[in-house]
Amino acid sequence: MWNGKLKAVTFSYDDGVVMDKRLVEIFNRYGMKATFNLNSGLLSHAQVFDKDGVEIHRMNAKGLPALYQGHEIAVHCLTHADLPKWDDETVYNEIRQDKQNLERIFGQEICGMAYPFGTYDERVMKIVADCGIKYARTVEETGDFGISENLLALKASAHHSREDLFEMIDRFLGLKPERPQLLYIWGHSYEFEVDKKWDRIEEICRRLSGRDDIFYGTNSEVLLI
C-alpha cells in the first residue's frame, strides 16, 4: 500500500465553489492530492450564497475537468440535500444522479462521497452502499491518524481550522509508525476567503510537502487499497 510507505496525507473539500481555483493552485504547487465533493445539480455560477458578507459563487461545469485534473471528484449529492430527512426514492436520486452526472462530466468512475451537512443514519448508509459508493465522509474528526473501520461513516483527522492542527502535523511528521497512519484534512475553500486565512492552507501544505516517507494521494487512493 501507499508505495510501501506507512504514512499518507489526503484532503477533502466540499461544494465546488470558485475559491477551489485558488486552493487547487496551492495543492498543485506543493504536490498535494485532494478529493473535491461536488453537487452536479448546482453547477452554475448563478448559484450564489453569502457567508459573513462574502459572496460565494459555485462554478459552471465547463472547465472543471481541467481545473481538477490530477485530483479526485466525489459525490456531494445532486442538490446538497439533508439526506436523513428525505424518503428512500429521493435519497437514491440525490446520490445516483449526482454520481452519473459527475461520471459523465469528468469521464472518471466516481466511488466516493461526502454527506451534505455531514448528516447520515443507517438507512442512508445502506442506500449509499447500494449506489456503488465505497466511502463516505462525515464531518466528525478524530484528532489522530487512524483509518475509520467503517468507510461509509468516514471520519477525518481534522478540519483545517482545528486549533491544534499544527501540533498534530508536527506529531505526524515525527511518527515512525509500524502500522499505516493517515492524516486526513477536510473543509471548504471559501472558509479561507471568509476567515482571511489563505496563509493557513499555504502553511499546512508547506509543512507537509516534500517528504520521502509520506504518500500523497486522493481519498480513494489512500482508502481503497
CB of residue 141 to Zn ion, shortest distance in Å: 16
Looking at the Cβ atoms of 14 and 98, the one nearer to Zn ion is 14
Query: Looking at beta carbons only, is 145 or 192 nearer to Zn ion?
Result: 192
Compute the half-sphere exposure of residue 47: CA atoms within 13 Å on the CB side of its CA: 16
46-55 burial by CB neighbour count: b if 16+ within 10 A, else e?
Answer: ebeeeeeeee
Nearer to Zn ion, 15 or 191 (CB): 15
Q: Please report where in the chains the cell 491518524 appears, as a residue.
A: 145
Q: Which is nearer to Zn ion, 15 or 98 (CB)?
A: 15
Number of Cβ within 10 Å of residue 187's Cβ equals 21
Per CB under 5 A, which region of 6-14, 55-63, 167-175, 191-199 contacts Zn ion?
6-14
Number of shown-chain residues binding Zn ion (CB under 5 A): 2
Cα–Cα distance, 78 to 145 (Å, whole number)? 31
Minimum distance, C-beta of residue 41 to Zn ion, in the bound complex (Å): 13
We find the least distance from the C-beta atom of residue 102 to Zn ion, in angstroms, to be: 15
Site for Zn ion in 107-166 (CB under 5 A): none
- Give the integer Cα–Cα distance in Å for 73 and 218: 9
Min separation Cβ 77 and Zn ion, Å: 9
State which residue has the least CB distance to Zn ion. 14
Distance CA 162, CA 30 (A): 21
Among 15, 20, 94, 98, binds Zn ion (CB under 5 A): 15
Q: Length of the chain, please?
A: 225
| CB 82, min distance to Zn ion, A | 10
Q: Is the dihedral of CA 39, 43, 47, 49 positive or negative?
A: positive
Q: Could you say whether residue 14 binds Zn ion (CB under 5 A)?
A: yes
Q: How many CB atoms lie within 10 A of CB 148?
A: 18
For residue 20, state whether it binds Zn ion (rule: CB under 5 A).
Answer: no
Strands (E), 45-98: 48-51, 54-57, 72-75
- 94 is a site residue for Zn ion (CB under 5 A): no
Chain positions contacting Zn ion, by CB under 5 A: 14-15
